[in-house]
Structure 1
């Protein structure tokens, strides 16, 4: 009886301009013959669009990162090859602490506040200031080492970062789920830094600085692997495509710190 009444209503609606009633659950899902497609076309299209967004996001991050690293390499090269500039920055450490203040301010702003890092063009302006301040600090650190050591450590850094990035792209290990391991390493690094700050003025345990540098290089290499997988978005944790500035900042910071610690391990002080 009920089906007959529905058929009569449908026949009346076919000859009129009234909209068709919505299908029942059985009509919509029976054998894929309903109005709603069940062949997965919509799901496939959504996945394809999401993949395109992620690829565009990755290209944007690495394009900005390449520009940042180019600026840092240029500044480090100037500080390495220009002897008068080396003497000037070493005799005026106040500029280093001024750069450090700017570095920390922009780092906290971009890391902790989503508004500034997502608002164009302020996000790019803050990122540029951050890049210049960290590049100056890295260049001043490089001025204390001879040219051969700096060039060698640059080459080692390139190999390490390239290897870690390839590993992160290819491995099935989910590095983004290693928060517990990273917490232990960061705690050990923090304690080692406090001990080093207390021991260096006393002139004791000269190998402590090398241990600190090795631990720092390992820690930031792991951070580079984690940040790379967060960028890919194929693991348990991922970064939103809106936060391309935040993703670029993390990877750039990892690479610069890896270079700084490798320079402390293998670098030879300038005579």
Structure 2
């Protein structure tokens, strides 16, 4: 290859095609070696010159006066200066809802612990103090009075659970309900010996802890089985009516044990359901404002499990 076959240098090519290099703004810009394309600034007649700010109108570029970045909008409706702020708002709302739910769960379990402590204390009095036990056995009308108070206050709490701003009437009603149900439970426990009461209490504690851990860990959504739980509740009701009618004429041990076993199983499933409703993030959840109703549901389930287990342990001990 001879030196005539070599391509011309950059300076020779630029001087030959476009003439001397132009000076713009005190800085020499090199000329482009290709024809003008759509979007290339040609207003000054020099295709190699850089355009002033805001005058580029090519395809794929914003027109004059339009910002190069489309602003994102926050949940409040105001544009956020940073496009990544929307993700921050979403993450912040998620963490805020989780913190509210955790505070709600702690409040419910604190109320539930106070209720169970009060009930255990009253049951211990009816179990260990003989004069109180004999008084309750000799006056069954007090038991039916406590049952009436329990039923009426339960309906009031379920129907009118919204908290009051000036005075927490729901907490007062919850205290009255806890006292009534504790007295009713203590009255039932007074008909059984101490060994059966302690055995039922221990089994109830183990079942409640196991059910709570299972409800927090399992991926099975029991809140979507409301129809099945409703049917099982009706089965317990019908079985209880039949058992009451039959046992009023003649005591049948196996029928009594069967009713107690069905009741314990059904209320254990109710405890799973109410625990998952309390946790949230399921098919059905409960509002964080309804902490009294949540504590009430868990408390009733646990006490009913204890009563049914007490009938089983009492019958087996006899």
Bin for the TM-score computed over the shorter chain: 0.7 to 0.9
Report 1 or 2 for greater relative contact order, CA contacts < 8 Å, sequence distance ≥ 6.
1
Shift of 1:236: 1.2
Q: Report the aligned-residue RMSD.
A: 2.5
Deviates more, 1:118-127 or 1:96-105: 118-127
How far apart in 2 are the matches of 1:206 and 1:189? 17
CA distance 1:235–1:248, change in 2 (3 Å): same
Moved over 3 A (4+): 1-4, 33-39, 114-120, 268-271
Paired residues in the alignment total 252
Q: CA deviation at 1:198?
A: 1.6
Bigger helix share: 1
Q: Tell me: CA distance 1:94–1:36, structure 2 relative to 1, closer, same or farther (3 Å).
A: farther
Matched with 1:113 is 160
- Which residue in 2 is equivalent to 1:14? none
Residue 115 of structure 1 and its aligned partner are, at CA, apart by 3.3
1:242 alignment partner, SS class: coil
Alpha carbons 1:117, 1:246 under 8 Å: kept:
no
- After TM superposition, give the deviation of residue 269 of structure 1 in Å: 9.1
Question: 2:226 & 2:235 partners in 1: Cα distance?
Answer: 14
Superposition pairs of residues 7-156 of structure 1, within 5 angstroms: 27-28=70-71, 35=81, 37-38=83-84, 40-115=87-162, 120-156=167-203
C-alpha contact 2:161 2:292 (8 A) present in aligned 1: no
Q: Answer yes or no: is the 8 Å Cα contact 1:58–1:231 preserved in 2.
A: yes
> What secondary structure does 1:172 align onto?
coil
| Contiguous gaps of at least 5 residues in structure 1 | 8-22
Structure 2: gaps of 5 or more residues: 1-56, 73-78
Name the counterpart of 1:219. 266
Residue 269 to residue 163, structure 1, CA distance change in 2 (3 Å): closer
TM-score, structure 2 length as denominator?
Answer: 0.74
Match of 2:296 among 230, 249, 255: 249
Listed one character per residue, the Cα deviations across residues 181-219 of structure 1 (whole Å, up to 9, x for unaligned) are 212211211221121122112216431111111110001
Change (3 A) 1:97 1:119: farther
TM-score normalised to the size of structure 1?
Answer: 0.86
User: Could you tell me which residue of structure 2 aligns to residue 16 of structure 1?
Assistant: none
Could you give the per-residue CA deviations for residues 82-106 of structure 1, whole angstroms, max 9, x where no partner exists? 1111000111111111111111111
Contact 1:127 1:249 in 2 (8 A): yes
